[in-house]
Structure 1
Amino acid sequence: MASSRVKKSTIVRAKFVRTGFGLLERVAPALGGRLALRIWCTPRHARPSAAPQPGVRHLVPLHGSTVLAETWGSGGPVVYLVHGWGGHRNQLGRFVAPLVAAGYQVVAFDALSHGESGPGTLGRRATLPEFADALTAVVAEFGPAHGIVAHSMGATATALAVLDGLSATRLAFIAPMADPMAQTHLFARFLGFGDRVHRAFIARLEKVAGRAMSSFDIPSRATGQTLPPLLVVHDERDREVGHVNGEALASAWPDAKLVSTNGLGHHRILTDADVLHEVVTFVTAPTPAVPC
């Protein structure tokens, strides 16, 4: 009975929001764009879970705030774990033990406005460039990235950082978003606004991000570049970030392999034993020597 009441309440709120945005589309698109930006930049936080094994905690300064990082192992090449939008560092915790056992140091962190990290420049809201900046700051703190394993929007942020100059030997993206601009149109349909609010929303988003939306189109930017080898793992039934994103990214990246799963969705894919094995095997594989 309680579940039924919650479902009805959610439907009522959704109708109210869509009606409101429909009105703003007609009479106040600038206000609609401002409200859309607020919703877009506000993460829906996943409930934090405990790490499989506690690591050593560190605070890394960034933009006048702090990023909470956690490390496991020591002395070996470094592999970084990057959570997705609304996530936290322990979501990729299953990767820690096998990577440490293979001789790697593992570093995971909470992006600004996520988990135990401090707020970003927008308070408890966040932006994709801040995600990328957090990764870059953590790599500067703990050393060159042999590998980066990233999920969802964290994969997009990782790709953005790499395309902007961050060095890494191997990358593994799980359920990546290929182009956030395409996602903004799905967002518009979900909230019920049209082109006028969408234009105002994108203008504000670009101003906050400090760069054009075209710079986030990872497949377009990756085409023809010299980039590290990439493994893309994506579920064919992912309802949050469609499988087409993984296909597009793997097709455009110069040295990429796509592994498709079926039935794991957007989050269970992070705990699947076969996915874990595939990713760890790829990240720890010997790097071929470059001919002289």
Structure 2
Amino acid sequence: MTAVRTAFGTLERVAPDLGARWAESLWLRIPPYRGKSRPGVLPRGEEFTVRVKDRKVVGTAWGSGPVVYLVHGRGGISAQLHPFVAPLLAAGHRVVTFDALSHGASDPGFLGPHHFTIPEMASAFTAVVKEHGRPHAVIAHSLGCAAVFFALRGGVHPSRLVFLAPMTQPTPYTAVFAATLGFGERIRTRLMDRVAARVGTPWDDFDMPTQVTRIAPPPLLTVHDPADRETRYDDSVAVAKVWPESELVTVKDLGHWRVLRDQDTITRAVDFVSSRERQQPNQRTA
């Protein structure tokens, strides 16, 4: 990392365009999946594939009833959300999971192996929804929440949403990214321009708090640990403030990943998507 920071520091001064090109590749790169296999007892699911243009998206479905989609985050896989499957089936839902492009068993994305964008992930989700039907609810994690929100703007209409440790405002992360890699504003602003051009969408389109008026927002439950080191707790606070019917649950000692295995969180999410009663606006639970 010291060598990388030194190189970026030099490029910031003498060749910011070259530095931005390198930074763009790193920004769009998916970290390797480091999760461990956690065997559990699940009924045999229905394996399926859908296509986004010429790319194959692989998924699994279980059960029957109102459909709940489980959406993993950047660098994750669908199996991370398997702890939600059995409780959702017991509650009478059909459950659908999938690996986004460049993740898990699905094909590489359009930027090549180990790279992806939010719109690309949203397109995969939309293709899965087209195959399996309108969602009753979606439970999403991390950057998967941003992809789901982008799909909502494109016409997907779930009745309920659960966001677990969501990223709702991506722009502030570029400053953290720059500080980590050792470059300044000359590279950072060029990086943002390059990414916007690459995905064909301005950064503001991914800012949930300012974009929520562009959708018909369903009731939302968001769960976040203030000590999360991957996504900011402030992201959940910001979206809960403006989302018409939302509940922010603050958890402790779960970080970014353990929230997917926490039994209280799983029970709360399943109860929320299964309840027929609408939540009171902007509830907050400690």
TM-score band, normalised by shorter chain:
over 0.9
The aligned amino acid for 1:85 is R
Q: 2:253 aligned with 1:266, yes or no?
A: no
Deviation by residue 1:129-188 (Cα, 9 ceiling, x = unmatched) = 111111111100100000000000001111121133211110000000111111111111
Deviation by residue 1:75-100 (Cα, 9 ceiling, x = unmatched) = x1100000010000011110000111
Q: Give the gaps of 5 or more residues in structure 2.
A: 279-286
Any conservation in 1 of the 2:134–2:156 contact (CA below 8 Å)? no
Q: 2:118 aligned with 1:128, yes or no?
A: yes
TM superposition shift of 1:39: 0.6
Taking every aligned residue pair, what percent have the same amino acid on both sides? 46
Q: For residue 244 of structure 1, give the secondary structure of its aligned residue in structure 2.
A: helix
Distance 1:156 1:240, change over 3 A: same
Deviation by residue 1:250-286 (Cα, 9 ceiling, x = unmatched) = 1121111000001110000110111011100001111
Any conservation in 2 of the 1:112–1:118 contact (CA below 8 Å)? yes
Q: How many equivalent pairs are there?
A: 274
User: What pairs up with 1:9-158 in 2 under 5 angstroms?
Assistant: 14-47=1-34, 49=37, 52=40, 53=42, 54-74=44-64, 76-124=65-113, 125-158=115-148
TM-score (norm 2): 0.92
Q: For residue 96 of structure 1, give the secondary structure of its aligned residue in structure 2.
A: helix
The aligned amino acid for 1:46 is Y
- For 2:81 and 2:215, locate their aligned partners in 1 and report how far apart those are by CA, in whole Å: 28
- For 1:183 and 1:51, locate their aligned partners in 2 and report how far apart those are by CA, in whole Å: 34
Any conservation in 1 of the 2:153–2:214 contact (CA below 8 Å)? no
- For 1:185 and 1:223, locate their aligned partners in 2 and report how far apart those are by CA, in whole Å: 26
Deviation by residue 1:199-230 (Cα, 9 ceiling, x = unmatched) = 21111101111111110111110148531100
Distance 1:117 1:225, change over 3 A: closer
The aligned amino acid for 2:231 is V
Q: For residue 159 of structure 2, give the secondary structure of its aligned residue in structure 1.
A: strand
Q: Give the gaps of 5 or more residues in structure 1.
A: 1-13
Deviation by residue 1:2-35 (Cα, 9 ceiling, x = unmatched) = xxxxxxxxxxxx1111111111111111111111
Q: For residue 136 of structure 2, give the secondary structure of its aligned residue in structure 1.
A: strand
1:166 maps to what in 2? 156
2:198 maps to what in 1? 208
Runs of 4+ aligned residues of structure 1 deviating over 6 Å after TM superposition are: none
Cα RMSD for the two superposed structures: 1.4
The aligned amino acid for 2:8 is F
